[in-house]
């Protein structure tokens, strides 16, 4: 990294900065949630990385603003919708519980424990077992996914969805997160239109767009 010799360690330090430094303006839980929401796009991820590096170098001002980042990232969320969607995947949370105790990661936090409890209690009937995995569907299907998507990770698409789509095609956008598609919205739209109109996928319509970290 051009920012730090060990960027992962820099992020870990940022996620525990409040407790480590005793700074009352830094709430580690808020920082952790801010990181998760900011990972949805490369631009907001870069903002967090700059805040983490600055904090490690002795300037916590940007990290103290994590609450503002979080508010911006969650302004469009509706609690009921969030919990209802989570309740569908509640069976996964039992498997993930050990990670919730990992305080130096973006997913491990008291918030995850609270969220998993809330979604488990959300008043929706449990999905039948046969709904807990995809069903084989021969319909020609186009899946477009970023390889840095933390919301719908590529590994889940490859492992849990594509095997059930014998006529499916997967286009992976390198260095794209969940919300980065807007960077080439028109090109992706043309690629999708080509698939819908003729069943072909012209990947060349989407230009390479590597994630290059600028110098600090």
In the chain, where are the structural domains located? 7-120, 133-203
pLDDT at 113: 73
Report d(CA 212, CA 145) in Å as an integer. 19
pLDDT at 1: 45
Q: What is the pLDDT of residues 30-39, one digit of tens each?
A: 888 788 778 8
More confidently predicted of 177 and 99: 177
**Cα of 216 vs its chain's centroid, Å:** 24
Report d(CA 212, CA 135) in Å as an integer. 39
DSSP-derived 3-state class of residue 125: coil
Across 20-167, where does the E strand assignment appear? 141-146
Instruction: Quickly state the pLDDT bin for 107 (edges 50, 70, 90).
Output: low
32 in Cβ contact with 13 (< 8 Å): no
Mean pLDDT of the chain: 83
Q: What is the pLDDT of residues 56-81, one digit of tens each?
A: 889 999 888 876 776 665 555 667 77
pTM score: 0.74
**Residue written as tokens 């469009």?**
76
User: By C-alpha distance, which of 3, 6, 62 is closest to 34?
Assistant: 62
């Amino acid at each position: 990294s051009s920012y730090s010799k060990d960027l992962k360690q820099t992020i870990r330090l940022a996620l525990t900065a409040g407790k480590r430094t005793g700074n009352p303006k830094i709430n580690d839980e808020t920082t952790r949630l801010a990181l998760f929401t900011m990972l949805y796009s490369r631009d907001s991820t870069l903002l967090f990385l700059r805040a983490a590096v600055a904090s490690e170098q002795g300037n916590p001002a940007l990290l103290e603003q994590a609450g503002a980042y979080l508010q911006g990232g969650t302004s469009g969320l509706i609690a009921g919708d969030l919990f209802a969607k989570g309740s569908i995947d509640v069976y996964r949370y039992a498997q993930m519980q050990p990670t919730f105790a990992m305080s130096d990661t973006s997913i491990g936090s008291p918030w995850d424990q609270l969220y998993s409890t809330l979604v488990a209690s959300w008043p929706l009937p449990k999905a039948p077992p046969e709904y807990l995995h995809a069903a084989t569907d021969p319909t020609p299907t186009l899946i477009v996914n970023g390889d840095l998507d933390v919301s719908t990770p590529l590994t889940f698409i490859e492992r849990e969805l594509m095997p059930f789509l014998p006529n499916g095609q997967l286009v992976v956008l390198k260095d794209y997160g969940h919300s980065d598609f807007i960077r080439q919205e028109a090109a992706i739209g043309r690629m999708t239109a080509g698939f819908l109109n003729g069943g072909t996928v012209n990947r060349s319509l989407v230009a390479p767009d590597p994630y290059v970290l600028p110098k600090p």
